């Protein structure tokens, strides 16, 4: 069951990324959580760090947990910490959070990737 859900979530994420691949440079991501956080989502969070995102915003179910886990993954054991600004937005709409991300200043001028999970 967990593997099936993980495969489905990963497939949805891949569809979003393929649609955006090569079109615009991304340095900000807004994660819209419909089903909430699960441990098997850590791979997705790690991929945001691997791609060099500068801003991670979470909104929706468990948004504060998503932010906390992203912080933990970024810091790791402290030896190879990676930098990313994280925010969670309980009680805010998707539109408000996307607008926040668009207006957030980062080193790289870039668009906002929106991932629904």
Q: What domains, with CATH codes, occur in the chain?
A: 2-20+28-116 (3.90.190)
- Check residue 101 and give its pLDDT: 95
The dihedral of CA 26, 5, 42, 85: what is its sign? positive
Helices (H), the chain: 2-20, 42-50, 63-75, 94-103
- Check residue 2 and give its pLDDT: 37
**CA within 13 Å, CB half, 21:** 7
Each residue's pLDDT, cut to its tens digit, for the chain (117 residues) gives: 333 444 444 444 444 444 444 545 679 999 999 999 999 999 999 999 999 999 999 999 999 999 999 999 999 877 878 899 999 999 999 999 999 999 998 888 778 999 999
């Amino acid at each position: 069951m967990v593997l099936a859900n993980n495969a489905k979530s990963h497939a949805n994420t891949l569809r979003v990324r393929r649609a955006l691949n090569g079109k615009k440079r991304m340095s900000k991501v807004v994660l819209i959580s419909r089903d909430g956080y699960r441990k098997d989502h850590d791979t997705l969070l790690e991929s945001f760090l691997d791609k060099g995102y500068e801003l991670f915003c979470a909104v929706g179910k468990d948004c504060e947990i998503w932010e906390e886990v992203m912080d933990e993954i970024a810091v790791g054991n402290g030896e190879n910490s990676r930098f990313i600004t994280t925010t969670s937005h309980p009680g805010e709409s998707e539109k408000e959070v996307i607008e926040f991300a668009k207006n957030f200043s980062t080193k790289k001028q870039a668009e906002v990737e929106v991932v629904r999970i």
